[in-house]
Amino acid sequence: MPRRNGESLRIAVQSNGRLTGYSLELLKDIGLEFEDHERRLFTRCRNFPVELLFLRDDDIPEYVADGVADLGIVGLNVIHEKRAEVDRLVPLGFGFCTLTLAVPANASIRSPSELEGARIATTHPVSLARYLDEEQIGAEIVELAGGAEIAPALDVADAICDLVSTGTTLRIHDLRQIGDVWDSEAWLVASPGLDEGSGRSALVKRLRVRLDGLLTARRLKYVTLNAPREALPRIREILPGMRSPTVVPLADSGMVAVHAAAQEEVFWEAMERLKEAGATEILVLPVEKVMR
Ligand code: PRT
Ligand code: ZN
């Protein structure tokens, strides 16, 4: 491990997996410039005092909890499973999945409560044990290192508890979902030891403002349209997230141009209703960055 470079921040990122591409893209979108060629253990940002540490996702919670890394990007499922003492800062909007209970499609079991006495194969024994305890279900946990989905076919288990995103794996193995343990997504997490007021915590604050701006911008749309002035109340009803729009009179008497950032997704249906309300030249534009 290279020695820590003074007051620079260390961010742990998955080296090679489902979260890697999204994580690196996010870090680049908040302005960090770095080389990630082959994602060796370690890389330094060129334009910001940040070092990236590339790790297996399973190790990220512990490295962050111990303060070896100040920040980490990791799935909530791994944080739960490792029982890591980290501060959760921001959900990042990728890596969505659900820890799910499933049984063979032809099994008689319909709900988790019917798993009493059953054997459940999983790679998430800690999360499953907590769930079974909370739900007071007396089932046996069969802990596996991978491939839980084949355990029922091998008669190693009666059910599985695994992450699901598209559901393809369950379908291929002829398994049926009977209940969810919890939903997960990738989070930015921080070491609880990050001292308030230190140089590093000031850097974390800067990165959080940028991240907030980026994530807010992804939700925002910039809408411009022309409309008769009397249509304004109706237009604001259709786009309630449009706060104090700029309204400019047009050369045509009674017509105005409306410009505003809308807080909501502007769907085709909303555009059709705007048109019905009298709006024309409706443009919906993406917003790249925001700072408030
Ligand atoms: O090598 P390393 O240990 O770093 O990676 P890994 O193989 O342990 O993890 P990886 O890269 O597969 O996943 C990283 C993180 O992505 C997980 O910890 C989750 O937070 C998140 N994630 C999102 C998922 C899935 N979706 C997912 N579908 N992780 C795993 N899966 C697996 C699931 O276990 C099952 O085998 O994909 C299969 C099901 O997928 P579907 O699409 O068929 O439903
Ligand atoms: Zn892993």
Count of CB atoms situated within 10 Å of the CB of 180:
13
CB-based neighbours (< 5 A) of ligand 2, an ion: 57-58
Answer yes or no: is pLDDT of 82 > 70: yes
CA–centroid distance, 229 to ligand 1, in Å, is 52
Distance 69 CA to ligand 2 centre (A): 18
Mean pLDDT of 18-47: 92
Of ligand 1's listed atoms, the one at least distance from the Cα of 123 is 34
Confidence of residue 3 (pLDDT cuts 50, 70, 90): low
Give me the mean pLDDT over the 1-5 stretch: 57
- What percentage of the chain reaches a pLDDT higher than 70? 98
Q: How confident is the model at residue 1 (pLDDT cuts 50, 70, 90)?
A: low
Q: How many A from CA of 17 to the centre of ligand 2?
A: 8
pLDDT confidence band for 154 (50 / 70 / 90): very high
Mean pLDDT for 113-142 is 98
Report the nearest atom of ligand 1 relative to the CA of 186: 20
Using CA atoms, how far apart are residues 194 and 191, in angstroms rounded to an integer? 6
**Residue 37: what pLDDT?**
76
Separation of 5 CA from ligand 1 center, angstroms? Answer: 33
Residue 195 has pLDDT above 70, yes or no: yes
Closest Cα to atom 30, ligand 1: which residue? 163
Which of the pair, 35 or 133, is modelled with greater confidence?
133
Q: How far is the CA of 18 from the centre of ligand 1 (A)?
A: 6
> CA 121 to CA 52: how far, in whole Å?
35
pLDDT score recorded for residue 265: 74
CA angle 164, 22, 51 (to 5 degrees): 125
Q: Is the pLDDT of residue 5 over 70?
A: no
Mean pLDDT over each residue of the chain, to the nearest integer: 93
pLDDT value of position 190: 96
Nearest protein CA to atom 5 of ligand 1, as residue = 17
Closest CA to 29 of 195, 215, 159: 215
Return the closest-CA partner of residue 179 out of 240, 235, 95, 114: 114
Question: In angstroms, what is the span from residue 145 Cα to ligand 2's centroid?
Answer: 10
Tokens coding 228: 């008769």
Among 3-7, 150-154, 269-273, 287-291, name the one with the lowest average pLDDT. 3-7
Q: What is the pLDDT of residue 198?
A: 80
Give the tokens for residue 15: 């080296």
Asked whether the predicted pLDDT for residue 98 surpasses 60, the reply is: yes
Q: What is the pLDDT of residue 257?
A: 96
The structure tokens 């799910």 sit at 100
Q: Which residues line ligand 1 (CB under 6 A)?
A: 14, 17-19, 56-58, 75, 77-78, 95, 97, 162-169, 184
Domains by residue range for the chain, with CATH: 9-94+186-217 (3.40.190.10), 97-184 (3.40.190.10), 220-286 (3.30.70.120)
pTM of the model: 0.89
Q: What mean pLDDT do residues 205-211 have?
A: 95
Ligand nearest to the CA of 124: 1
